[in-house]
């Protein structure tokens, strides 16, 4: 199993989930791995997916039955540097799909995004059949890679399956632009006054998914005998921002949550994820319970 973007937030969670399994995991990212004497079934490899020659070497040196493609330039960085974003999110993905076909990969799992749908009315529940209308280069790239994956699958390439994911939260995200995604867990343990800034207005809805559940959903798609569909909405929870604020402050009296003036532009507010849940019987732990668990560890 090859995992790209293995040092990213979701990549690390997926690798942790795969590590106890009997299969060999090739954890690929641009940074060179640090030497380790620890014996595991995870092999860390430094490689840029835009480098076709080096990427082909990885495929030649390892017997890769499946690929989990999570490497990407994220939305804020993609808007700042669309050239680099295009190279990684489009050209790098094409390299992976071509090599996966060439080397007989059987399943190609893609970490996609709900930003594919673009902005939707607050009361509209979005299913996989809803029209795609991405509003930035990140969402547009995700949609194009899905189209590429379908084309390769139709022409004899690996089975392609895409998981459209909402805002991923949990401790350890290391995000500079959306620090709140980790702070809502990490600062629940504080024993001194602390503040979290949620950038959205209180009445706004946002679709959230804990990183462990996102990783579990991806592993489900990678290991399913044969998924019935190629596109799935991830099992996200729609939160009213003000409800999230009240929940956090009730769990730790040292915590104060400040709200901003932003709206969930470029993303839906309500999601139909029944396709995934009904087919696989997947039950993620409620985010409210995960928050309570994080607070109880303080």
pLDDT > 70: percent of the chain = 97
When pLDDT is cut at 50, 70 and 90, the band that residue 161 belongs to is: very high
Structural domain of 257:
168-207+236-296
User: Taking the CB of residue 223, how many other CB atoms lie within 10 A of it?
Assistant: 15
> Which CATH number covers residue 203?
3.90.25.10
Confidence band for 202, pLDDT divided at 50, 70 and 90? very high
Condensed to tens digits (0 to 9), the pLDDT of residues 52-69 reads: 999 999 999 999 999 999
**For residue range 117-142, what is the model confidence (pLDDT) as tens digits?**
999 988 999 999 999 999 999 999 99
Same domain assignment for residues 79 and 147: yes
Q: Residue 50's pLDDT is what?
A: 98
pLDDT, position 64: 95
Query: Are residue 8 and residue 134 in the same domain, yes or no?
Result: yes
Reply yes or no on whether the pLDDT at 92 is more than 80: yes
Q: Domain count of the chain? A: 2
* Same domain assignment for residues 46 and 174: no
pLDDT tens digits for range 213-235: 999 999 999 999 999 999 999 99
176 pLDDT tier (thresholds 50, 70, 90): confident
Counting beta carbons within 10 angstroms of the beta carbon of residue 154, is it exposed (0 to 12), middle (13 to 18) or buried (19 or more)? Answer: exposed
Q: Give the pLDDT score at 109.
A: 98
Tens digit of each residue's pLDDT (9 = 90 or more) over 255-297 = 999 999 999 899 999 999 999 999 999 877 789 999 999 998 7
pLDDT at 38 over 70: no
pLDDT of residue 34: 62
Quote the mean pLDDT of the chain: 94
pLDDT value at 159 more than 90? yes
Do 144 and 222 belong to one domain? yes
Give yes or no: residues 153 and 255 share one domain: no
Q: Are residues 12 and 159 in the same domain?
A: yes
Instruction: Find out whether 225 and 272 touch, Cβ atoms under 8 Å.
Output: no
Claim to verify: residue 55 and residue 84 sit in the same structural domain: yes
Most distant CA pair in the chain: distance in Å? 59
Ordered DSSP codes for the chain: -EEETTTSHHHHHHHHHHTTSSS-EEEEESSPPPP-----SEEEEE--TT-HHHHHHHHHHS--SEEEE-----HHHHHH-HHHHHIIIIIIHHHHHHHHHHTT-SEEEEEEEGGGG----TTPEE-TTSPP---SHHHHHHHHHHHHHHHHHHTT--EEEEEEE-EEE-TT---SS-THHHHHHHGGG-SS-EEEEEEE-TT-EEEEEEHHHHHHHHHHHHHSSS-S-SEEE---EEEEHHHHHHHHHHH-TTEEEEEEEE--TTS-SEE--HHHHHHH---PPPHHHHHHHHHHT-
pLDDT band at residue 36 using 50, 70 and 90 as cut-offs: low
pLDDT confidence of residue 31 = 78
Q: State whether 46 and 111 are in the same domain.
A: yes
143 and 249, same domain (yes or no): no
Q: How confident is the model at residue 175 (pLDDT cuts 50, 70, 90)?
A: confident
Percent of the chain with pLDDT over 90: 86
- pTM, two decimals, is 0.94
Domain boundary among 218, 233, 248: 233
Looking at the structure, do residues 215 and 252 belong to the same domain, yes or no? no
Is the pLDDT at 39 greater than 60? The verdict is: no
Both 241 and 227 in one domain: the answer is no
Q: pLDDT-derived band of residue 41, with 50, 70 and 90 as boundaries?
A: confident
Residues 66, 132 share a domain: yes
């Amino acid at each position: 199993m090859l995992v790209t973007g293995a040092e990213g937030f979701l990549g690390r969670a997926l690798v942790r989930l795969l590590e106890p399994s009997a299969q060999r995991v090739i954890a690929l990212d641009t940074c060179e791995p640090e030497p380790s004497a620890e014996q595991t079934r995870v092999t860390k490899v430094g490689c840029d997916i835009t480098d076709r020659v080096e990427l082909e070497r990885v495929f030649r040196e390892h017997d890769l039955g499946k690929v989990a493609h999570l490497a990407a330039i994220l939305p804020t960085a993609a808007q700042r540097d669309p050239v680099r974003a295009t190279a990684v999110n489009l050209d790098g993905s094409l390299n992976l799909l071509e090599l996966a076909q060439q080397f007989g990969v059987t399943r190609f799992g893609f970490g996609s995004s709900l930003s594919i749908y673009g902005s939707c009315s607050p009361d509209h529940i979005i299913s996989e059949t809803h029209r795609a209308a991405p509003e930035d280069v990140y969402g547009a790239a995700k949609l194009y890679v899905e189209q590429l994956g379908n084309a390769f699958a139709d022409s004899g390439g690996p089975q392609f399956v895409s998981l459209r994911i909402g805002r991923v939260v949990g401790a350890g995200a290391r995000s500079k632009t959306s620090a709140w995604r980790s702070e809502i867990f990490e600062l629940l343990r504080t024993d001194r006054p602390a503040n979290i800034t949620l950038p959205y207005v209180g009445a706004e809805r946002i679709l959230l998914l804990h990183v462990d559940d996102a990783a579990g959903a991806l592993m489900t798609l990678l290991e399913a005998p044969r998924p019935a569909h190629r596109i799935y909405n991830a099992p996200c929870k729609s939160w009213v921002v003000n409800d999230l604020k009240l929940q956090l402050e009730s769990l730790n009296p040292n915590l104060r949550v400040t709200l901003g003036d932003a709206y969930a532009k470029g993303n839906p507010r309500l999601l139909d994820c029944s396709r995934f849940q009904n087919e696989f019987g997947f039950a993620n732990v409620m985010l409210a319970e995960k928050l309570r668990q994080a607070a109880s560890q303080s």
